[in-house]
């Protein structure tokens, strides 16, 4: 078996400056022994809760902890990626059961991006609009595709990337843990080289920083300092949402190079960040081992958007941001 490159990681979560509580959650499993590494690898999870009040907080923490529990319990499952996806699906079942047992009727759901790292590969499970990126030789690539309304509309050609920035429902997610019996969870098999960095983050980061800025910070700082810098800059830009990052360094880092000054955020720069539903084939070494194909559905999505606009009398809150696919029948 090929020797595994050493890993170093750092993670941070912050409520930001606008929200009174933090609905994000981050969890890490790092093996303590060589045997544990062979059996489990290393697991990193970032979740962004949906539901408002305490429902989002409960959903993100509970689903993350259950995913970690099932992942460790499914040690005999064949394949690292399928094992991760099955753990996330089991957590989905548990979260739905928890929501049904609660005394109130609030929906509980959460986005989730999780990565198992073993033997030079990252096996990434993703549902919702939290993201995974790979930094390599100064360049940043988004590895996951957002499962969001605005990303789908851009992908289908119904919106341009520029229009997506001002789209009033850009926070509406199509799928999540807790939203349905078995949500479509995308799985990516990503090859890692020594010196690569993997970034998992909630959308509280990417709404304030573009890819170039993130890449500059990752190339300049070690993971601990980079995590602080990313969260700090997102707060300085307004901290409009909870901010969570997990940075995993695979192998030795390259010598830190002086980074260019970071410009203030503007709409043109953020175009690169808001709508990047990049096809898997465009990401080098990423194998779409379980990505469910969606039909061309932008006409139905536009109808859904119109209905939402007519029914809304105030800006949409995070508590109403899960789209139920059964609302619209696509042909």
> At 254, which CATH number?
3.60.40.10
Mean pLDDT computed over 36-55 = 89
Confidence class for position 164, pLDDT limits 50, 70, 90: confident
pLDDT at 5: 84
User: How many domains are there within the chain?
Assistant: 1
Q: Judge whether 329 lies within some domain.
A: no
43 and 71 in contact (C-beta within 8 Å)?
yes
Name the one residue in this structure whose structure tokens are 């601990």.
224
Bigger pLDDT: 143 or 287? 143
Q: Is residue 20 part of a domain?
A: yes
Tokens of 82: 């399928």
Q: Work out the percent of the chain whose per-residue pLDDT is above 70.
A: 73
Give the whole-angstrom CA distance, residue 217 versus residue 214. 5
pLDDT for the residue numbered 171: 81
Spatial CB neighbours of 10, under 8 Å, sequence gap ≥ 6? 223, 224, 226, 227, 246, 247
Is residue 331 included in any domain, yes or no? Answer: no
| Residue 117 belongs to some domain of the structure | yes
Share of the chain above pLDDT 90, in %: 62
Does some domain include residue 319?
A: no
Compute the chain's Rg from CA coordinates: 19
What pLDDT shows up at residue 104?
Answer: 64
Q: For position 9, what pLDDT does the model report?
A: 97
pLDDT of residue 294: 45
Strands of the chain (E only): list them: 7-14, 24-29, 42-50, 109-118, 121-127, 131-136, 139-142, 186-191, 197-201, 243-250, 286-290
Sheet holding 243-250, edge to edge: 7-14, 243-250, 197-201, 131-136, 139-142
Give which of 158, 100, 149, 102 is closest to 316, Cα–Cα: 149
pLDDT tens-digit readout, 196-253: 999 999 999 999 999 999 999 999 999 999 999 999 999 999 999 999 999 999 998 6
State the pLDDT at residue 200.
98
- Residue 108 sits in which domain range? 9-312
Q: Rounded to the nearest 5 degrees, what angle is found at the Cα of 232, between the Cα atoms of 46 and 212?
A: 80
Determine the pLDDT at residue 256.
45
The pLDDT assigned to 321 comes to 42
**pLDDT higher than 60, residue 57:** yes
**pLDDT tier for residue 317 given thresholds of 50, 70 and 90:** very low
Residue 213 neighbours by CB under 8 Å, 6+ apart: 233, 262, 263, 265, 269
Q: Is 327 part of any domain?
A: no
Res. 320 pLDDT band, cuts 50 70 90: very low
For the stretch 258-296, pLDDT in tens is 444 555 544 443 333 333 333 333 233 344 555 444 445
115 lies in some domain? yes
Are 132 and 144 in contact by the 8 Å Cβ rule? The answer is yes
Residue 324 located in a structural domain: no
Distance between CA atoms of residues 200 and 11, nearest Å = 9
């Amino acid at each position: 078996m090929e020797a595994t490159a050493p890993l170093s990681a750092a993670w941070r979560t912050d409520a930001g400056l606008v929200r009174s509580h933090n609905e994000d959650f981050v969890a890490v499993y790092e093996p303590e022994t060589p045997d544990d590494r062979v059996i489990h690898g290393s697991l990193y999870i970032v979740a962004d809760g949906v539901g408002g009040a305490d429902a989002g907080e409960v959903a993100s923490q509970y689903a993350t902890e259950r995913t970690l529990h099932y992942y460790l319990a499914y040690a005999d499952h064949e394949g690292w990626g399928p094992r991760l996806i099955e753990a996330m699906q089991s957590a989905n079942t548990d979260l739905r059961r928890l929501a049904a047992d609660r005394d109130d009727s609030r929906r509980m759901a959460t986005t989730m991006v999780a990565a198992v790292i073993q033997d030079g590969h990252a096996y990434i499970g993703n549902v919702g609009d939290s993201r995974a990126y790979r930094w390599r030789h100064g360049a940043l690539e988004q590895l996951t595709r957002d499962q969001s309304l605005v990303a789908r509309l851009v992908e289908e050609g119904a919106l341009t990337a520029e229009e997506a920035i001002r789209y009033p429902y850009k926070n509406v997610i199509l799928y999540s843990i807790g939203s349905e019996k078995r949500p479509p969870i995308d799985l990516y098999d990503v090859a890692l080289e020594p010196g690569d960095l993997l970034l998992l983050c909630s959308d509280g980061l990417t709404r304030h920083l573009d890819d170039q800025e993130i890449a500059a910070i990752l190339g300049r700082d070690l993971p601990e300092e980079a995590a602080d810098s990313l969260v700090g800059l997102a707060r300085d830009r307004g901290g409009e949402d909870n901010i969570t990052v997990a940075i995993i360094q695979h192998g030795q880092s390259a010598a830190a190079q002086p980074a260019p000054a970071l410009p203030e955020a503007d709409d043109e720069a953020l175009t690169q960040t808001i709508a990047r539903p990049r096809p898997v084939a465009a990401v080098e070494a990423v194998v779409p081992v379980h990505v469910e194909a969606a039909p061309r559905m932008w006409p139905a999505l536009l109808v859904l958007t119109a209905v939402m606009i007519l029914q809304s009398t105030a800006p949409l809150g995070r508590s109403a941001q899960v789209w139920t696919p059964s609302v619209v029948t696509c042909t």
